[in-house]
Chain A
């Protein structure tokens, strides 16, 4: 294409762009018939009609409410997991997991420039990570990659929360557990069949 043609194409494209700005803003601008002030050309009427049709027909589509809430819940859980290192104290430090959790998105969703920035902070080579599979230390709590941060926080909350006799089911479960513990630690008499079998 000759430079002159290229300039003409750019001018037409700029005119269309100005028209679309006005059209999408809902402004009244008769570029089709009058042309903009100072512009050398006029917008092709067929192009303008197509733009008006697309503006009317290409509607924004909203997902279902159920999907919206399900994803909101999942994001909140993920955000809660990210929030824990801040909550456990300033000394907490997050080490890279040896393997990516199944729920996390693949790295190739992240734009290349962001991935490059990340590569300066941590070693993203999976082969290197395989060699140093370690437990994760967060603010003094030892856990493994198999246990999620949110799960660890939930267990800690269940153990430490006040009012342990809250529900009949909890009381029943605790009674069973205590009975098992008592049976396991009970002192057996020396003449019991179990002790005799061991001594023999």
Chain B
């Protein structure tokens, strides 16, 4: 991080490290590969050109290598996704085609079952309000801590915990309804 701030040419290492995370986040939010690519590109360009303004907020007590760079990057990504959505004037869709990634292509029967289960999960999170869906994606896909999600969404940690808890209960209800 510090190397990239001293020399922008060193930004490549940060880009490779966080590309899939930012892209995944954008993809889950926008539900379209091309739109996710656009948002990802804007995020990294904005991060690079504003890298000199990033301030490390991690404390020595947070542990070795602790950094708030990912929170800062995802704040930019969140704005990029919002702008993308506004520009296209359309609502996010559940990216059902990505469910095929989960299934084993060699096991057709199990693959079909896995796809059905995955589709159920996708539908469940696709029906959530935006803030709950966003919090779940950050928690499960990006495997972020509650503190990181709070930093990105601009909420308290307690509020994020309640948000995720309620989102999970909604997903659970949806899944139980389908199983009956």
Contact = CB atoms under 8 A, between A and B. Distances in A.
Interface of A: 9-10, 12-14, 16-17, 20-21, 24, 44, 46-47, 49-51, 53-63, 67-68, 71-72, 74-76, 78-80, 82-83, 86, 103-106, 108-111, 114, 117-118
6 contacts: A17-B161, A57-B122, A58-B140, A61-B36, A71-B40, A111-B72
Interface of B: 7-9, 11-12, 15-16, 19-21, 23-24, 27-28, 33, 36-37, 40-46, 48-50, 53-54, 72, 75-76, 79-80, 83, 98-99, 101-102, 117-118, 120-122, 124-125, 136-137, 139-143, 145-146, 158, 161-162, 164-166, 168-169, 171-173, 175-176
B125 A54 contact: yes
Given A46-B172, A63-B19, A108 B79 contact: yes
B131 to A, nearest CB: 15
Given A13-B164, A51-B168, A74-B45, A63 B79 contact: no
Given A16-B168, A17-B161, A55-B140, A111 B98 contact: no
A63 B101 contact: no
Contacts of A44: 169, 172
A16 B165 contact: yes
A109 B83 contact: yes
Main DSSP-derived SS at the B contact region: helix
Contacts of A114: 50, 53-54, 72
A153 to B, nearest CB: 13
A61 B122 CA distance: 14
B139 A20 contact: yes
* Centre residue among B41, B120, B125, B137 by max chain A CB count within 10 A: B41
B97 to A, nearest CB: 11
